[in-house]
Amino acid sequence: SRSSLGGTSSIDNVMALAIHSDEQVSSVFKALCQFLLETCEALLSSNFEHDLADAHVTIHELEAAGIKIELLVGTRRNETQTETTREQLPSKNGRLDPVVTSQLSMKSGDKPAHHESAMVLDSRFAFLKKKIFLLRIWYANSLQLFHELKGLVQRKMDVYASICEYIYSIKLASDPNGMKLMSLPSISLSSSITRQDHKMVRAVRVDDESRCEASILSQLQLLEQERDTSAWQDSSVHIKSDAKGLNEEVFITQLAVRSQAIDAFFQLHVESILQSHSVATDLANSPTNSSKSVFNCHFQDGVVGDVCFYRAPLKSRERMREKVLEYVADEYPNWPLVGYILDAVRCSVVVKDAGQLLEVLSWLQDPACGVTVCKVKNRYARDAQVLDGYRDLSVHVHFKGQNGLSIIGEIQLH
């Protein structure tokens, strides 16, 4: 990733200067920092008008509502400033890597070309994650550059949150189906199967052997702590979550292995439910190596509309440990706490409006569809607590795969 921005040795030299020198940071380092921040702003802004089009909202509407969108659109630098910044940057053979220049061909504020697809726009964010964010320079000068990036992202997130709230309070509230969606409870249970250790699921299995293993791991943790009191203070690997101090790592492993074994079956089954309501799969928008599929589905009002299906990655063991620690802090009552994690396998379904979302929910609630809805978490509800304006309808379903294994998975409806 460092070689993508002008050569490894040049970047390392600048970083060494920034990290190890007691002198004032060089103009070259400042230019590199400015370039990286402007690159991040350009890539984070490139999807903006595409996002608005998907949400059926115009810039004029947002401005009339008093939402300051200039942080998302960005500002153009003039050519003189651009060339000056690039000349100050370290380079390889006198020029920046063509990967960088091609990704920056659309500066902040530029409109995406008409032919650019969502896949092209998504590739910009992938470039940001896989190239720019992996540079070690973010750790220089006591994370100063990282904190500047964090501030930039937060300012953009604040604007997006304002846009989401506008869509929710104005657009959704004026739609009869939107009002119906908003009136649904924030949490509803439709089955007794609400944990991964339920006897019908057994993605987490609490038996004599696993209890013994959990107890042994807890004892080993105590012995390690006695040898080195600092060894475990920052570790979330070994978690004591119940009154007896039994360790959860055994059950985290069980759920991680089960989700890995059943995920492909789960994803294919959810796709098959959508396929059963579709005219045909739009193969042009569904390459075999893509995490997205598009279905042209029939809806009750006679409309045929696109339903986008997105496969999501498995929940990592690290994230499971973090969730268990959150459950400890919130004093969740039943052990093992891993049993509360219902999104180890997950996917997303995106539709045009609230009416279509409610109809897709009815497809999942049909007993003939092959999954059992256990719990629905409605972040569109009026009393729902949301973060940064994010809303969805999370449907937790009990799924039994062709391999005979079961799990509770999550289908997010947007």
Rounded to whole angstroms, the Cα distance separating 269 from 109 reads 41
Q: Is 305 helix (H, G, I), strand (E, B) or coil?
A: strand
Rounded to whole angstroms, the Cα distance separating 339 from 195 reads 5
Rounded to whole angstroms, the Cα distance separating 349 from 273 reads 11
Q: How far is CA 39 from CA 44, 117, 241, in A?
A: 9, 21, 44
Tens digit of each residue's pLDDT (9 = 90 or more) over 73-113:
654 443 344 444 444 444 444 444 444 444 444 444 444 44
Tens digit of each residue's pLDDT (9 = 90 or more) over 113-152:
444 455 565 677 778 888 888 888 888 888 889 999 999 8
Checking if the pLDDT of 191 tops 50, the result is yes
Q: Average pLDDT over the chain, rounded to whole?
A: 79
Checking if the pLDDT of 329 tops 50, the result is yes
**202: left (phi > 0), else alpha (psi -120 to 50), else beta?**
left
Lowest mean pLDDT among 85-89, 124-128, 172-176, 318-322: 85-89
Checking if the pLDDT of 40 tops 70, the result is yes
Lowest mean pLDDT among 5-9, 325-329, 345-349, 392-396: 5-9
Rounded to whole angstroms, the Cα distance separating 346 from 410 reads 5
Residues contacting 253, CB < 8 A, separation 6+: 317
Report whether 277 contacts 368 (CB < 8 A): no
**Stated pTM of the model:** 0.76
Please report, to the nearest 10 degrees, the dihedral formed by the alpha carbons of residues 309, 311, 312, 316 taken in order: 160
Structure tokens at 142: 């006591």
321: phi then psi, degrees, rounded to nearest 5: -60, -40
Of 360, 271, 256, nearest in space to 316 by CA:
256
Q: How far is CA 360 from CA 169, 365, 377, 409, in A?
A: 23, 9, 15, 16
286 vs 269, residue with greater confidence: 269
Q: How far is CA 64 from CA 67, 68, 172, 247, 293, in A?
A: 7, 10, 18, 55, 36
Structure tokens at 120: 């092209």
